[in-house]
Amino acid sequence: MKQRIKAALFAAVFLIGAFGFVCGEGLGAAAAAGTALPQQLGAGTILHDVRPGAGVTRTTWLSEWFEALAGTPADTRVFILDSGKPGAVVFVAGGTHANEIAGILTAVTLVENAVPASGKLIVIPDLNNSASTWTESNQVPAWIAIQTASGTRFFKYGARLTNIAHQGSPDPESYRHPDGGDVFEGWESRNLNRAYPGAAHGTLTQKLAYAVMELLRREKADVAFDLHEAGPESRLANMIVANPKNLDMAAFAVLNLELDGFRMKLEPSSDTFHGLSHREWGDRTQAASFLIETPNPAQSNNAANPAEDPAYPLKARVMTHLASIEAILDAWNMMNDSGRTITFAAWPSRDSLNKNGLGSILK
Ligand SMILES: [Zn+2]
């Protein structure tokens, strides 16, 4: 077995070289949103339409791991799927960027369908809940409607950044991560994926990042996923970014994904680019850390529909996220040294997703 893994890794090095790497993500302007299906709580918090499935043993809020988040618009629901049997703890987050809808919906399908047989799954579908309270352009829908057997369900299509009204201060002129590195535009201070490891007494975005770090540390997460999307022409589209310490698992997963019909690029976290989930989660906690990107046409063209573009069907993007998570967890189960594994008695059906659409695997 070890021999096979080594051969696979060797081949993966060639794959990585052959694909080449690139990075960058887009942004838009302001405007707000829509009908009222998900419930609006106090202080602008949104309670999204997520319907816990048979695997969910507890529903809580992220403020359980960092009290200062309670009552703020950045608090967000956390779904725990605990098999009750020993095993690996796996964390999945959608909605770091609330306009990257395939990541959010992938997390929702896990909450509604996954049933762990060993280990524990912790899912946050809308990680930056403040970002889901606004949209960056009136050319994208504020809600994504999906037909299910029980009727139409609505999912919030939000923005990339924390709502400026919630951050509590105007954007600085420029933003440099506390650990140094590149200087960004000031609005990047509201980008959760530039804020890790966060700060207990920082901005709302830094507090949110700090809460995630606390969850990963205190729950002793073994594996952590951050689900994203990028414009289809972005070098990031269809890519797995892995912390260097767990690059081998990602390489093995990329090979198996290729056999399964999914062509994913692979890249290690940059050494100099601070504040990103895969970098800081992996460096500062025990978790093997991965970021997965699929192509969202609305991120390069505001007029494109993020859910209904026939060239980039939402169900295919969700399928890519699900397949990538599965492949990485298979690699984890086979390659990790801790002996802790996670297995599932039920998982969102890719077959049904493919044949009958996203609505068929939503409650
Ligand atoms: Zn993103």
Domain edges within the chain: 2-296+309-361
Q: Separation of 96 CA from ligand 1 center, angstroms?
A: 6
Cα 25 to ligand 1 centre (Å):
7
Expressed in angstroms and rounded, the spacing between residue 227 Cα and the centre of ligand 1 is 7
pLDDT in tens, 49-58: 999 999 999 9
For the segment 327-340, what is each residue's pLDDT rounded down to a tens digit? 999 999 999 999 99
State the average pLDDT over residues 155-182.
93
Q: Is 6 exposed, middle or buried (0-12, 13-18, 19+ CB in 10 A)?
A: exposed
Tell me how far apart the alpha carbons of residues 240 and 328 are, in angstroms, rounded to a whole number.
10
Question: Residue 51 half-sphere exposure, CB side, CA atoms within 13 Å?
Answer: 9
Residues 256-278: pLDDT tens digits? 999 999 999 999 999 888 999 99
Query: Domain 2-296+309-361 class?
Result: alpha beta
Q: Quote the pTM value.
A: 0.89
Q: CA 321, CA 323: separation in Å to the nearest integer? A: 6
State the pLDDT at residue 38: 52
In this structure, the dihedral spanned by the alpha carbons of residues 212, 194, 34 and 168, taken in order and rounded to 10 degrees, is 90
Q: Residue 212 above 80 pLDDT?
A: yes
Which pLDDT score, from 0 to 100, does residue 42 have? 52
Say if residues 101 and 234 touch (Cβ distance below 8 Å): no
Confidence grade of residue 149 (pLDDT, cut at 50, 70, 90): very high
From ligand 1's centre to the CA of 293, what distance in Å? 7
Cα-Cα-Cα-Cα dihedral sign, residues 219, 225, 229, 230:
positive
* 183 alpha carbon – ligand 1 mean position (Å): 19
Residues facing residue 122 across a β-bridge: 80, 91
Query: What's the CA-to-centroid distance between 230 and ligand 1, angstroms?
Result: 6
Element (H, E) at 292: strand 288-295
